[in-house]
Amino acid sequence: MAAPSPVRPHTTRALRDVVFVDGIRTPFGKAGPRGLYAETRADDLIVRVIRELLRRHPELPPHRVDEVAIAATTQIGDQGLTIGRTAALLAGLPNTVPGFAIDRMCAGAMTAVTTVGSGIAFGAYDVAIAGGVEHMGRHPMGEGVDPNPRFLSERIVDASAMVMGQTAENLHDRYPGITKQRADTFAAASQAKYAKALAEGRIDADLVSVATRSAERGYGLATADEPPRPGTSVEDLAALKTPFRSHGRITAGNAAGLNDGATGCILAAEDVAEELGLPRAMRLVGYGFVGVEPEVMGVGPVPSTEKALRNTGLSIEDIGLFELNEAFAVQVLAFLDHFGIDADDPRVNPWGGAIAVGHPLASSGVRLMTQLARHFAERPDVRYGITAMCIGIGMGGTVIWENPAYDGGRQ
């Protein structure tokens, strides 16, 4: 009888600190035949982002990128074919750099970040690129999907769970104190904050221009976000139709639109960032994802934030900045009410949010992170911030970040 193979001793390893180096995005466009990117490929959007990240950071040798994780909710057509790998090749990264696609609906890019971030902490990667792309004009949410009929026949979910606008109406039902007036007021404020940040030149650093073409209009250059409606008033919003329910509360004005766009960021082990001379904009502290009732998916960021806080030993009072995805005003207000935060608290979405700038589904998580990183650079008195979002089919996601520039609270 052969002797048993010797047991390999377990190799212990310390987790490494993970930093967010930099993030950028394309201008966001309106989905549809008249939108900025109506005749632009989805993969070309994310390729442009990756190339710009590498251009902005020549101190990062391309061969040092260990992984490319790109999210898309609708992984079909020019958003399919393992887009993380194909985008890496199209962007000019060496063919030795692997890549993969990821899907967690609205939190796709957020999950790309936490996935490769965990790999960096574990030691599997030193440097990675993470991001997301969504071309909702070419690929409407749900394109090609075939939901199992048991979802409805066995009443696993209510039929409203399959329509995000209806889930937002359900959330209004659950929290009757969140009126349409409150939602419209929050939405108008988002537009105003974005317009102010744009006028002050705060948005431009996030953006990379994108060449566009139109058979009708010719070639162009996308340099600014298309969705914002500056000057929007509560009175304007009050007059809008409620398409998801007669006499409802959800309108095109107090919800994010249907949009096209891409985002990306560089993540690295902190010691590797120091070695290469890469900036450290944020340090990853922890994260949490949870499931909730699909019929009220907008409540997801509440328990995901509680989980992330619990995992990291922090409390909501420790958080000095909030970047919350504004899929619908009601879901942000539900989060704020739960944690006792005023809707006009200056810590919340200081430059506005998705109601103004748009929400190209899987790409939005990195937009939140990039803006939080910009806030940190301006606010050394703030130590911790969070990025959080609700997720379709009943989930929530929250990532907690630390400001490397924190100066102990000195103003």
Residue that the structure tokens 């005023």 belong to = 342
Residue 106 annotated as catalytic: yes
Name the band, by pLDDT with cuts 50, 70 and 90, for residue 362: very high
Structure tokens given for 354? 């998705």
| Bridge pairing between strands 67-71 and 99-102 | parallel
User: What pLDDT digit, counting tens, does each position of 111-130 carry?
Assistant: 999 999 999 999 999 999 99
Return the structure tokens found at 171: 């959330």
Residue 182: its pLDDT value, please?
98
> In the chain, what percentage of residues exceed pLDDT 70?
97
- Tokens encoding 195: 């317009």
pLDDT digits (tens, 9 = 90+) for 196-245: 999 999 999 999 999 998 888 889 999 999 999 999 999 999 999 999 99
Give the model's pLDDT for residue 12.
Answer: 73
Query: Which residues lie closer than 8 Å to 207 by C-beta, 6 or more apart?
Result: 24, 25, 26, 27, 223, 224, 225
- Catalytic entry in 135, 172, 359, 375: 359
Q: Which of 106, 139, 172, 375 is catalytic?
A: 106
Q: What is the pLDDT of residues 284-295, one digit of tens each?
A: 999 999 999 999
Domains of the chain as residue ranges with CATH: 18-140+255-402 (3.40.47.10)
Residue 9 has pLDDT above 70, yes or no: no
Choose among 233, 252, 257: nearest CA to 242: 252
What is the per-residue pLDDT across 262-281, written as a single tens digit (0 to 9) for each?
Answer: 999 999 999 999 999 999 99
Q: What is the DSSP code string of 262-291?
A: EEEEEEEEHHHHHHHT----EEEEEEEEEE
Quote the pLDDT of residue 251.
98
Residue 129: in which H helix or E strand, if any?
A: strand 127-135
* Residue 390 known to be catalytic: yes
What pTM, to 2 d.p., does this model score? 0.95
Q: Is 265 a catalytic residue?
A: no
